[in-house]
Amino acid sequence: MERTCMAELVAWKGRSGRKPLIVKGARQTGKTWLVKEFGRRQFADTVTIDFMLDESYKSLFAQDLDPRRIITQIELRTGRRIDPEDTLLFFDEIQEAPRGLTSLKYFCEQAPEYHVVAAGSYMGLGLRREGESYPVGKVDMLTFYPLTFEEFVRAAAGDVLADALEAGDMALLDSVADVIERHLKDYMVIGGMPEVVAEFVASGDYAECRRLQGDILQAYDADFSKHAPVRLLERMRMAWRSIPSQLAHENKKFVYGAVRPGARARDFEEALQWLEDYGVVYKVPRVAALRLPLGGYEDLSAFKLFCCDLGLLGAMAGLPETAVIDGSRVFTEFKGALTEQYVLQEYVAQGEQPVYWSNDSGSAEIDFALTSSRGIIPVEVKAGENLRSKSLRVACEKFCIDRAVRTSLSPYRDDGWLINVPLWAVMHSKRFALSQ
């Protein structure tokens, strides 16, 4: 599978001020495969040290953290020369060797000529242990996410359609909207976890893809047990398992009492932070006003909580995989939550940090809001056929916003203040909003 992150890895290699690179992301997002593929394409050799597979490698950091001694010991253990120009040194599952994470500081300062990439899960990388420090300012960072819709199309349908989707020529794309929408229905069920996508491309078996999603969810649960404090474990699981039911409500604001009757914020705040640190949830905060900077208007007591992948969300919710063949059902299941999840994933993968807005009375709500060079772009997500945009109009008038986005299954249309963007082209919504 071709991932857009490959271009970012290639750019890192050619950067004059290159530092050791930490690649992070939730488990099963394809970090290990992509780094090895990067090494295969860009280097004469890749030396991989997997600290989970072989714990004896942790001894590399038992003495000092001198990078040249570490390089020499790796050469002796593997029998392979590490050339600064032609070898990629890959520390996989780096969270299992915290002193290895600290050593990246010294690779940056004392041996910057080496190409060093470290990969690990969010949770392990976020742990702080006594006597060990995170190499702040001494590493470059790259976050991996599940496959975007464009990447899914590239894997499932090939480069021709994916390239057209990436270019975003709506006059061309509208003529094949029915084809793209069929792929979007598949994506809504399959999601973007690479193993699941690979199985779907190979077999087209929805049931087998659901089984693999179940395996990933079980692996996440096992990782909770491994990394999280025992006192938080059950609360993490309760909050995690509540996500589908939370999103199934008309008002998708996270409600602590829906996790456990009588629960309050203080009971679950730390557990939710651990889920965020692990990368399995996205928190979308509420803002009291659609004004810049959005962070200055954040309501710390209200937020929506989404899963990291819409395929996993569907599996957690028990959505039948056959929903993909039943008209537009997959877009409207549990109050359109899958559709909002999809839109959020597309934005997050682009580096956006969406928020949502609602007025004090609760009579108007904007699903997402983005920051742009021209101000705030409010976004309304429509899963069904009802395309009234009362809340968008209220928000635009209240905050003097001249361009808004509504994304739905309807064709592209620019009405001046309101742009309707097909769901399958939502990755271009900011560009369209700024085009006037």
pLDDT at 128 over 80: no
The helix/strand/coil state of 181 is helix
Residue 54: pLDDT band (50, 70, 90) is: very high
Identify the band that residue 132 occupies on the pLDDT scale cut at 50, 70 and 90. Answer: low
Same domain? For 254 and 397 the reply is yes
Contact call for residues 173 and 425 (beta carbons, < 8 A): yes
Cα dihedral across residues 411, 312, 321, 164: positive or negative: positive
Residues 6+ apart with CB under 8 A from 133: 102, 105
202 in any annotated domain: no
Parallel, antiparallel, or unpaired: how do β-strands 45-50 and 140-143 relate? unpaired
Do the domain assignments include residue 217? no
Tens digit of each residue's pLDDT (9 = 90 or more) over 405-434: 999 999 999 999 999 999 999 999 999 999
pLDDT in tens, 271-321: 999 999 888 999 999 999 999 999 999 998 999 999 999 999 999 999 888
Q: Would you state the structure tokens that stand for residue 182, as one six-digit string?
A: 């069929």
CATH number at residue 117: 3.40.50.300
Residue 396 CB coordination number (10 Å): 20
Q: Which domain holds residue 64?
A: 5-143
pTM exceeds cut of 0.85: yes
Q: Is the pLDDT of residue 21 over 50?
A: yes
Phi-psi region of 336 (alpha: psi -120 to 50; beta: other; left: phi over 0): left
Range 381-385 average pLDDT: 79
Specify the pLDDT at position 332: 81
In a domain, 267, yes or no: yes
Residue 362 has pLDDT above 90, yes or no: no
Q: What is the pLDDT of residues 24-35, one digit of tens each?
A: 888 889 999 999
Same domain, 277 and 418: yes
pLDDT at 421: 96
- Residue found by looking up tokens 């071709």 in the block: 2
Same domain flag for 249 and 391: yes
Residue type, 402: D
Q: How confident is the model at residue 104, as a pLDDT?
A: 96
The total domain count for the chain is 2
Is residue 237 located within the same domain as residue 378? yes
**pLDDT at residue 127 above 50?**
no
Mean pLDDT along residues 317-328: 82
Last residue of a domain, one of 143, 162, 187: 143
Rg of the chain taking only CA atoms, in angstroms: 23
* Of 204, 188, 243, the residue nearest 423 (C-alpha): 188
Same domain assignment for residues 254 and 114: no
User: Is the per-residue pLDDT at 374 higher than 60?
Assistant: yes
Cis amide linkage into residue 293, ω under 30° from 0: yes
Q: Which residues contact 94 (CB under 8 A, 6 or more apart)?
A: 22, 51, 100, 101, 118, 119, 120, 124, 125
Amino acid 124: pLDDT: 52
Angle among Cα 170, 171, 176 to the nearest 5 degrees reads 80
Report the C-alpha gap between 168 and 183 in whole angstroms.
16
In this prediction, residue 129 has a pLDDT band, given cuts at 50, 70 and 90, of very low
Q: Is the pLDDT of residue 254 over 80?
A: yes
255 and 394 both lie in a single domain: yes
Per-residue model confidence (pLDDT) at position 386: 64
Query: What single string gives the DSSP state of each residue in 207-243?
Result: HHHHHHHHHHHHHHHHHHHHHS-HHHHHHHHHHHHTH
Q: Is the pLDDT of residue 131 over 50?
A: no
Examine the fold and report which residue of 124, 143, 162 is the final residue of a domain before the chain moves on.
143
> What is the pLDDT confidence band of residue 135, given thresholds at 50, 70 and 90?
confident
Q: What is the mean pLDDT of residues 326-354?
A: 90
Average pLDDT, the chain: 92
pLDDT at 183: 96
pLDDT of residue 130: 42
Between CA 21 and CA 42 the distance in angstroms is 15
Give the whole-angstrom CA distance, residue 52 versus residue 90: 13
Q: Look at residue 388 and tell me whether its pLDDT is greater than 90.
A: no
CA distance 74 to 98: 17
